[in-house]
């Protein structure tokens, strides 16, 4: 266990026990990701390597593994689920990590977020233009990684990646539009999470199957697994966005309340009705919230059942993910690892 723990992300000091599959993925994917990033033009490598946590703003190496590699881990496991060695899923793992990081770079610009993983965001360090183009470069590289490979497997994987990309972008657009809407329902929150988070996890969890030239039905089942893991992941994220430990999440307490994000617990609480729900609505209409008001809003969301709703959705989607696996014919050890990763995603505290 020591070796695996040593390679886990520094952002998870009190995190859940890291599944061995994640440690293995880090060892396999990091060098491949480095090779891909080395293909970027000089001016883009520094901001991208900084974003990935590999170096400080001036390029000095940090020695950090750079992320949890959850998506890459799922991609490798999906190749193994189809009976191939993990290496067959590697281009898919690199592609989904690149795609994920494209979306983080642009999301931070869109949301004006100045901090991510306890560090200033790329646009805050290098400017908006650099963050936009660095994101563009990762998106392009993500597709190139698969399109350069010969054979029908990579072609099917490319198509899956292109579909996930469009859905991801549509999800972000809907999320952005939701910020100015006052009539979002809890079900719409889940629909937005589908595009914003779940589609990419579905792609990650199945992309190794076409690469291994496995059964398309297996890809579908694993996609269903990943979609539910993603929905659970987002529900957990929404809980951490209010009640997460600032020391661990790297965000101020009640961050999502401060930013008036329309997340599931907040929307559910605002739809609950009653005096606590009304008080919450009034608080969230204020120009700016001080610390006491943020704390009050958080306890109102909890009192209105918003936290319970998000936590029970997380459990429900985790169960659905595990249930989906039951119907798939996946070798025992791979099945166990997929389940461990799904549980890890839901049990995390950052």
Chosen residue from 132, 248, 283, 336 binding its own copies by CB under 8 A: 132
Site map for its own copies, 26-45, x if CB under 8 A? Answer: -------------xxxxxx-
Whole-number Å distance between alpha carbons of 307 and 235: 10
Task: Decide if residue 139 touches its own copies (CB under 8 A).
Answer: yes
Pick one of 7, 62, 144, 190: the residue that binds its own copies (CB under 8 A): 144
- Binding part of the chain for its own copies, among 16-24, 165-173, 314-322, 329-337 by CB under 8 A, reads 165-173
Residue 162 binding its own copies, by CB under 8 A: yes
Give the helix/strand (H/E) hosting 169.
helix 152-179
Q: Does 165 bind its own copies (CB under 8 A)?
A: yes
Give dist(CA 227, CA 320) in Å, integer.
Answer: 10
CA-closest candidate to residue 313, choices 264, 349, 263, 245: 264
User: Does 217 participate in binding its own copies (rule CB under 8 A)?
Assistant: no
Question: Is residue 261 a contact residue for its own copies (CB under 8 A)?
Answer: no
Name the one range near its own copies by CB under 8 A: 14-22, 102-110, 228-236, 325-333: 102-110
Residue 20, CB half-sphere, CA atoms under 13 Å: how many? 7
Instruction: Give the separation between CA 36 and CA 248, rounded to whole angstroms.
Output: 30
DSSP secondary structure letters along 51-104? HTTSB-TTS-B-----S--HHHHHHHHHHHHTTS-GGGGHHHHHHHHHHHHHHH
Tell the smallest beta-carbon distance from residue 178 to its own copies (Å).
9
Three-state DSSP at 264 gives: helix
Helix (H, G, I), strand (E, B) or coil at 315: helix
State in angstroms the smallest separation of the CB of 141 from its own copies: 7
Smallest separation, CB 327 to its own copies (Å): 28
User: Which residues does 255 contact at the CB level (< 8 Å), separation at least 6?
Assistant: 241, 242, 244, 249
Confirm or reject binding of residue 111 to its own copies (CB under 8 A). Answer: yes
Contact 88, 117 (CB under 8 A): no
Contacting range for its own copies; rule: CB under 8 A; set: 156-164, 202-210, 244-252, 315-323 = 156-164
Residue 248 in contact with its own copies, rule: CB under 8 A: no
How many chain residues interact with its own copies (CB under 8 A)?
39
Residue 3: CB atoms within 10 Å: 9
Which of 77, 109, 199, 300 contacts its own copies by CB under 8 A? 109
Q: Using CB under 8 A as the criterion, which residues of the chain lie in contact with its own copies when the complex forms?
A: 39-44, 106, 109-111, 128-130, 132-133, 135-137, 139-141, 143-144, 147-148, 155, 158-159, 162-163, 165-166, 169-170, 172-174, 176-177
């Amino acid at each position: 266990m020591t070796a695996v723990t040593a390679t886990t992300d520094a952002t998870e000091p009190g995190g859940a026990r890291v599944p061995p599959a994640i440690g293995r993925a880090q060892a396999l994917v990091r060098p491949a990701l480095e090779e891909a990033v080395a293909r970027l033009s000089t001016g883009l490598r520094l901001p991208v390597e900084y974003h990935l946590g590999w170096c400080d703003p001036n390029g000095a190496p940090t020695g950090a593994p750079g992320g949890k590699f959850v998506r890459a881990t799922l991609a490798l496991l999906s190749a193994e689920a189809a009976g191939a060695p993990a290496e067959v899923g590697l281009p898919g793992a690199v592609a989904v990590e690149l795609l994920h990081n494209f979306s983080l770079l642009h999301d931070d610009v869109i949301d004006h977020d100045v901090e991510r993983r306890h560090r200033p965001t790329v646009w805050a360090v290098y400017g908006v233009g650099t963050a936009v183009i660095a994101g563009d470069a990762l998106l392009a590289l993500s597709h190139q990684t698969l399109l350069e490979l010969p054979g029908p497997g990579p072609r099917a994987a490319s198509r899956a990646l292109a579909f996930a990309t469009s859905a991801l972008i549509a999800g972000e657009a809907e999320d952005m539009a939701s910020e100015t809407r006052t009539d979002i329902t809890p079900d719409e929150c889940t629909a937005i999470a589908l595009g914003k988070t779940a589609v990419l996890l579905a792609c990650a969890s199945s992309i190794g199957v076409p690469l291994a030239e496995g059964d398309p039905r297996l890809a579908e089942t694993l996609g269903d697994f990943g979609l539910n893991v993603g929905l659970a992941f987002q529900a957990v994220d929404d809980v951490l966005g209010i009640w997460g430990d600032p020391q661990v999440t790297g965000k101020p307490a009640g961050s999502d309340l401060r930013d008036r994000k329309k997340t599931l617990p907040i929307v559910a609480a605002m739809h609950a009705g009653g005096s606590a729900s009304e008080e919450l609505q009034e608080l969230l209409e204020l120009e700016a919230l001080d610390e006491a008001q943020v704390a009050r809003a958080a306890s109102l969301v909890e009192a209105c059942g918003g936290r319970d709703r998000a936590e029970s959705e997380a459990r429900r989607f985790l169960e659905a993910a595990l249930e989906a696996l039951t119907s798939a014919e996946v070798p025992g050890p791979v099945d166990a690892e997929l389940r461990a990763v799904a549980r890890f995603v839901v049990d995390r505290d950052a």
